[in-house]
Amino acid sequence: MAKIDLYDPKWIEMVFANKNKDYGAYKLRKGTSGRNIKALTILVVAAAIIGAFLVIKIQADKAAEERQAYMEAMELSKLQEQAKKREKVEEIKPKVPPKKEIPVARETQKFTAPVIKKDELVKEDNKLKAMDDLDKKAAVGAETHEGSDSRIVEAVRTDVAVATPPPAPKEEVTQKVFDVVEQMPSFPGGPGALMSYLSSHLQYPVVAQENGVQGRVVVSFVVERDGSISDVKIARSVDPSLDKEAVRVVKSMPKWNPGKQNGSAVRVKYNVPVSFKLQN
């Protein structure tokens, strides 16, 4: 049997040869090939339109995610700038008492000019005594002290404090929470890694999804001296369910690189925006 092309209208003539062509079946069969071609054309065009729409939507979603990450990074930078305006950098300087100068005392001796007199006119008290006579009334100490040939003697004062090394930082200084320091704390990998971590670990609350709630929650926390996170609070609220999820994700973050002031790790307050956006 010869192969028949169903899209060729000749087979219809073969089937309806010597038959009543005024019957509705002939007209219906005759338009079949045209309808098939039209249907295939419509199907191909629809598939092309749907494919193009999907490609455009994927590109638009990717661009929106990149724009969202950029906006979050900009807001994070803005929050840091606001914190810098609120408080100036404080320098921790140990208190060293000023060095006191010890006064130098100089020996003075009065010079008396000798006067020549006769022996009978010299009083007994003014006569020179022998060394043995001097030792009779002299008080002898139990210790021997060597003298000094120098005529300059330093006066030793017991009320002058000797310079001591600076005291160690007080406990209240180590427990102080700074808003701005010389080296701010940072998430391992930078701001991009922080935003990626938050977006990948967020679990959108079902209640918020059903009610169509979305927005940006700002979470405040303290980066401790060892990089751990503490004192997590909501600085800007959107919805209780979103606030709770934002706090959970922030508490689950790994240790940060701690902030430093004068080369020492200190406690620093930090704000992070957590975005919740419903997918269309």
Q: Which of 20-24, 69-73, 211-215 has the highest mean pLDDT?
A: 211-215
With vertex at residue 20, the alpha carbon angle to CA 18 and CA 24, rounded to the nearest 5 degrees, is: 140
What does the pLDDT look like over 220-243, one tens digit per residue? 999 999 999 999 999 999 999 999
For residue 80, what pLDDT is reported?
A: 74
CATH topology of domain 168-276: TolA/TonB C-terminal domain (3.30.2420)
For residue 105, what pLDDT is reported?
A: 53
Q: How far apart are CA 21 and CA 16, in angstroms?
A: 7
pLDDT surpassing 80 at residue 144: no
pTM of the model: 0.45
Q: How far apart are CA 261 and CA 90, in angstroms?
A: 8
For residue 156, what pLDDT is reported?
A: 47
For residue 267, what pLDDT is reported?
A: 94
For residue 236, what pLDDT is reported?
A: 92
Q: Between residues 77 and 196, which one has the greater pLDDT?
A: 196
Of the given ranges (95-99, 209-213, 245-249), which has the lowest mean pLDDT?
A: 95-99
Query: Contact, 214 vs 277, CB < 8 A?
Result: yes
Residues 60-95 as b or e (16 or more Cβ within 10 Å = b) = eeeeeeeeebeebbebbeebeeebeeeeeeeeeeee
Confidence band of 175 (pLDDT split at 50, 70, 90): confident
The amino acid that residue 272 corresponds to is: V
Listing DSSP states for 219-252 in one string gives: EEEEE-TTS-EEEEEEEE-S-HHHHHHHHHHHHT
With vertex at residue 144, the alpha carbon angle to CA 141 and CA 145, rounded to the nearest 5 degrees, is: 110
pLDDT surpassing 80 at residue 92: no
Q: Between residues 276 and 3, which one has the greater pLDDT?
A: 276
Query: Contact, 260 vs 213, CB < 8 A?
Result: no
Q: Between residues 161 and 46, which one has the greater pLDDT?
A: 46
What does the pLDDT look like over 33-52, one tens digit per residue? 677 788 889 989 999 999 88
Q: How far apart are CA 127 and CA 224, in angstroms?
A: 85
For residue 172, what pLDDT is reported?
A: 57
Alpha-carbon radius of gyration of the chain: 50
Half-sphere exposure of 28 (CA within 13 A, CB side): 3
With CA atoms as reference, report the closest residue to 245 among 222, 219, 263: 219
Q: What mean pLDDT, rounded, does the chain reach?
A: 76
Mean pLDDT of 114-143: 60
pLDDT surpassing 60 at residue 93: no
Q: How far is CA 9 from the centre of its chain?
A: 78
H or E element: which one contains 273?
strand 264-276
Confidence band of 63 (pLDDT split at 50, 70, 90): confident
Q: How far apart are CA 182 and CA 57, in angstroms?
A: 44
Listing DSSP states for 150-210 in one string gives: -SEEEPP-TTSPPP-PPPPPPHHHHTPEESS-SB--B-TT-HHHHHHHHHHH----HHHHH
In the chain, the percentage of residues whose pLDDT exceeds 70 is 56
Residue that has been written with the tokens 């004062």 in this structure: 157
